[in-house]
Amino acid sequence: MSETSVEDRWGPIGIPDEGAIKSLVKDWRQGRADRSFWSALSDSYVMVFSIAVLGAMIGSAIFDAQQQAAGCTTAGCLAARDLLPWAAAAALLTLTLVASRMFGPVLASSAEGFWLMESPMDRRRLLGGRFVVSVLL
């Protein structure tokens, strides 16, 4: 029986591969859920309710501004009317950036983010499935 070295059997020491990291994360997750179902449901309810309230506030402000701008014919009112869509676009961009920051890099939990984002390996294959699922949903 030939004797094989550790490097021959498992690869270079100190360089993790995707399979090893994936199995370590899977083993770590057993019994250690970061969030319960009710916690996620509560967070999603708060987010949906907040978006609805902010949408109603922004819609009301735009509606009132449109009514006031319709009766105004001076140059200042016309300039303000032209700037309103740009302000709405900037607010939408800000809301999109805040929401994308909330969900994090490819929906990895904080514990997984520590393991996965700090490891010196190619994370495309490891996180690609999560990315596809998050895009499709």
Question: What residues contact residue 78 under an 8 Å CB cut-off, 6+ apart?
Answer: 72
Q: How confident is the model over 11-46, as pLDDT tens digits?
A: 666 666 777 777 777 777 776 666 677 877 888 889
Question: What residues contact residue 105 under an 8 Å CB cut-off, 6+ apart?
Answer: 113, 117, 127
Residue with tokens 């740009």: 86
What pLDDT, on the 0 to 100 scale, is given for residue 13? Answer: 66
Domain spans in the chain, listed from the N-terminal domain onward = 36-103, 105-137
What pLDDT, on the 0 to 100 scale, is given for residue 117? Answer: 64
Other CB atoms within 10 Å distance of the CB of residue 126: 20
Q: How confident is the model over 96-129, as pLDDT tens digits?
A: 877 776 665 555 566 666 666 666 666 676 667 7
Q: How confident is the model over 79-102, as pLDDT tens digits?
A: 777 887 888 889 888 888 777 766
- pTM here? 0.40
